[in-house]
Amino acid sequence: MPVKTSLKLSTPVHRIMIVDDHPLLRRGLSEVISSQQDMTPCGEAPGAAEAFTVIENTNPELVVIDLSLEEGSGLSLIKEIKARFPHIKMLVYSMHDESLFAERSLNAGASGYIRKQESTDRILEAIRQVLQGNVYLSENMTKRMLNRHVGAHLDPDDDKISLLSDRELQVFELIGDGLGTRQVAEKLHLSIKTIESYRESIKRKLDLTTSNELTRHAVQWLLEKTQAL
């Protein structure tokens, strides 16, 4: 646990809210933030619906958001906060692969992305960077985005994956985790018919013909991404 440092009394205290579907993780991150003289946790929520109530009641300067929520999608929540509260900064704090979701998070309106596996010091650094108006990404992700910007060669499979919408990528990842249509629907609180439509769209964009091809491709793709971490 970080030790509180001695700062001048004039140092502003930044109000930080946490949106995560795991109570223990919310509590742990809240304690980390509380240990710092220049920041304080002002509220927390497990999902999107409750998040807006907390935001309106506490007026946070920064919201730390997980992509997997009890209710709603983290990416959708980021877009909604950006639209309704453009002054609020956002940092994604997630288990998800940075190479898959960091750029999408920035495009949605977040100012940084850090994985939950990172050290406490890195998490605090990310929070402070975003509070200062900067963008925070890992060194590897920064290089990846720069390479894409200058036209460097990237995995052609990743080029196809980039065609998927945020929700389609979420469904594709869950298929790679071995979930069937009904399980994906329950996980995302959507109808089976909606998930079937997403599956068909994913197959079309990835040039896949059958459901078995989709499952094999998703499992292999996710395995390769996991091994590369």
Least confident of 75-89, 108-122, 176-190: 176-190
Task: Identify the pLDDT of residue 59.
Answer: 94
Looking at the structure, give the CATH architecture of the domain made up of residues 156-227.
Answer: Orthogonal Bundle (1.10)
Per-residue pLDDT tens digits for 142-183: 877 776 666 555 555 566 788 899 889 989 989 988 899 999
**Looking at residues 3-21, what average pLDDT do you find?**
75
Can you give the residue ranges of every domain in the chain?
14-144, 156-227
Least confident of 10-19, 33-42, 137-146, 168-177: 137-146
Task: Identify the pLDDT of residue 23.
Answer: 93
- 72, pLDDT greater than 80: no
How is domain 14-144 classified at the CATH fold level? Rossmann fold (3.40.50)
- Three-state SS string over the chain comes to CCCCCCCCCCCCCEEEEEECCCHHHHHHHHHHHHCCCCEEEEEEECCHHHHHHHHHHHCCCEEEECCECCCCEHHHHHHHHHHHCCCCEEEEEECCCHHHHHHHHHHHCCCEEEECCCCHHHHHHHHHHHHCCCCECCHHHHHHHHHHHCCCCCCHHHHHHCCCCHHHHHHHHHHHCCCCHHHHHHHHCCCHHHHHHHHHHHHHHCCCCCHHHHHHHHHHHHHHHHHCC
Task: Identify the pLDDT of residue 84.
Answer: 95
- 95, pLDDT greater than 90: no
Beta-bridge partner residues of 68: 73
Task: Identify the pLDDT of residue 97.
Answer: 77
Task: Identify the pLDDT of residue 3.
Answer: 53
